[in-house]
Amino acid sequence: MQANKGWVAFGYAAIGCAALGAALAVAAPIGPGAPEDLVELVTPKDNPTTDAKVALGKKLYEDTRLSSDNTVACKTCHDPDKGFTDRLPTSKGVGGQTGKRNAPTVLSALFLDTQFLDGRAPNLEAQAKLPILNPIEMGMKSPEEVVAKLKGIPEYVDAFQKVFGREINYDDLGRAIAAFERTVLSSDAPIDRFLAGDDKALTPAQRRGWSLFNGKARCNTCHGFNASYPLFSDNKFHNIGIAARNKNFSDMALRAEKIVRAGDLDQIDELALNSEFSDLGRFLVTQNKAQIGAFKTNHLRDIALTSPYMHNGELKTLWDVVDHYNKGGIPNPFLDGGIQRLGLSEDQISDLVELLGGAFTSSRFAADGKAELERQRKLAASNRPERDTDAAMGKTMGRGDAPLDPDLSQKDPAFIGGRAPKY
Ligand code: HEC
Ligand code: HEC
């Protein structure tokens, strides 16, 4: 194990351990200049992080005995060797059942304002208690069943007693797992070094990509970066036109409204993972019509490692992601106003992919990230299913493709405000 080293870049932490397994065994010490204040801010006062608690949380995270048939652990779907995801379009739980959503990474999840792709859990403690009981993930029947099972395992009886000073209970299980997750940080990516002033940390292509990201490609409007939100996510919910093909969102929302019980987290968890209503996203949680098909802006740290992309895993490569945005998403009545065609050339697409696929990868995952990007490059060389150059360049109408720099004074007023002319 390498010595822990601090990384000073907009207060972002480095763990700096070559051997990941070893790094996760203990609460990762935060290096000099790292955002101890940020980590402290996101750590609940009633669940302080201690080494013993983290060790217990890690054990629980890896333990398949938390599932009904002893085959699935948190780690199954959030595997440290796969960027803390499973690299499947949508995850597989007990009995080989496939859910409707893609597993996001646990890396840096501690900094997210809400947990799950629709934000239905307020924090890591609440999040951890759901998959264990979800029938298609870990399949346990009730908190009581989980606690009884753990009470039959002497090492847990001792560990819970030592850490919490009381008998095993379900809330403490959530606390231990959450404490472990707060040590799972991505860090020390080239972009951190670049933002701290090292121009050479990014390749010329990545630097051009960064200009596009914050300019013509408009990524920063939702994936912006600042010192208190160092994740490239606004933590808000947007419909960016994923899963909108051939779907009647309004009809689906009306039907969902009839069955969803507001505030019933267990029911919403099941609908999200195991029903056709999954694509309604944030709407299932809030029943707010403006949020139909809206999902949380994913964070972009270590994004090279966590393909396939989006809430349903429908985009296989970073090229597909950029092609999707370039054409202005998939039209639907609830598309976020921030999504419009971008007019990016092939060279610009390539610069943006170099940025995403290299600059955001933690140093300890650099080799894996590189291999993943090359795998995707091969795939994209022969298959670019999302590419629609005509739409991206504004040669087709009807998909919200306003001119990039609209000069409304020259426009026939009849065509302003979504009334596209028929060509
Ligand atoms: C069967 C696969 C599977 C298992 C097992 C599983 N997860 Fe997940 N996890 C997912 C999927 C899929 C999502 C996204 C679901 C959604 O947003 O509706 C998710 C979401 C999350 C998130 C939210 C991250 C974010 O970006 O919002 C965290 C944290 C997480 N899981 C941790 C855990 C923990 C801890 C466990 C074990 C107690 C666990 N998961 C078990 C598949 C799984
Ligand atoms: C209007 C807000 C918005 C803009 C602008 C935007 N994104 Fe996103 N991004 C999102 C949301 C929301 C999601 C999740 C959508 C979903 O799963 O349905 C997302 C998901 C992603 C993902 C997938 C992450 C994962 O783990 O699956 C990548 C990569 C990404 N965006 C990159 C970009 C890039 C590059 C740009 C600029 C070309 C961009 N985004 C512009 C809101 C936005």
The answer, yes or no, to whether residue 281 has pLDDT greater than 90, is yes
| Nearest atom (ligand 1) to Cα of 67 | 5
Assess whether pLDDT exceeds 90 at residue 400. Answer: no
Instruction: Describe the chain by its helix, strand, coil percentages, rounded to 5.
Output: 45, 5, 50
351-378 confidence digits (pLDDT tens): 999 999 999 999 989 999 999 999 999 9
CA of 279 to the centre of ligand 2 (A): 15
Give the pLDDT confidence score for residue 404 in this predicted structure: 54
Position 412 scores a pLDDT of 53
What is the third-level CATH fold of 20-181? Cytochrome Bc1 Complex; Chain D, domain 2 (1.10.760)
Q: Which residues, at least 6 apart from 417, have a Cβ–Cβ distance to it below 8 Å?
A: none
Q: Measuring from each residue's beta carbon to the nearest atom of ligand 1, which residues come in under 6 Å?
A: 61, 72, 74, 76-78, 91-93, 99, 101, 103-104, 106, 109, 112, 115-118, 124, 127-128, 131-132, 137-138, 177, 272-273
Per the CB < 8 A criterion, the answer to whether 130 and 174 are in contact is: no
pLDDT for 229: 79
- Clarify whether 276 is annotated catalytic: no
Range 174-189 average pLDDT: 93
Residue 108, both tokens: 């840096």
CB 33 within 8 A of CB 8: yes
Average pLDDT of the residues in 102-122: 96
DSSP single-letter state for residue 209: H
Question: What b/e sequence results for 103-125 when a residue is b if at least 16 CB atoms lie within 10 Å of its CB, and e otherwise?
Answer: bbbbbbbbbbebbbbbbbbebbb
Whole-number pLDDT of residue 37: 79
Looking at the CA of residue 101, tell me the nearest atom of ligand 1.
12
Which residues belong to CATH 1.10.760.10 in the chain? Answer: 20-181, 190-244+293-392
CA of 391 from ligand 1 middle (Å) equals: 35
Does residue 39 or residue 387 have the better pLDDT?
Answer: 387
pLDDT tens digits, one per residue of 97-107: 999 999 999 99
| pLDDT for the residue 157 | 98
Please say whether the dihedral angle defined by the alpha carbons of residues 252, 254, 259 and 260, taken in this order, is positive or negative: positive
DSSP assignment of 104-169 equals: PP-TTGGG-SSBSTT--BSSHHHHHTTTTT-TTTT----HHHHHHHHHTSHHHHHHHHHHHSS---
Pick the CATH number of 190-244+293-392 from 2.60.120.10, 3.20.10.10, 1.10.760.10, 3.40.50.300: 1.10.760.10
> Ligand 1 center to residue 315 CA distance, Å?
19
Coil, strand or helix: which one is 234? Answer: coil
The single residue of 36, 40, 125, 137 carrying the catalytic annotation is: 137
Ligand 2 near 218 CB (within 6 A): yes
Most confident of 13-22, 132-141, 414-423: 132-141
Overall pTM surpassing 0.75 (yes/no): yes
Q: What is the pLDDT of residue 164?
A: 98
**CA-proximal residue: ligand 1, atom 11 (nearest):** 103
306 lines ligand 2 (CB under 6 A): yes
Q: What is the pLDDT of residue 395?
A: 81
Residue 40 host element (H or E): helix 36-41
CA 19 to mean position of chain CA atoms: 24
User: Taking residues 390-403, what's their average pLDDT?
Assistant: 69
Amino acid at 365: F
| Closest residue CA from atom 20 of ligand 1 | 116
Q: Whose CA is nearest to atom 20 of ligand 2?
A: 298
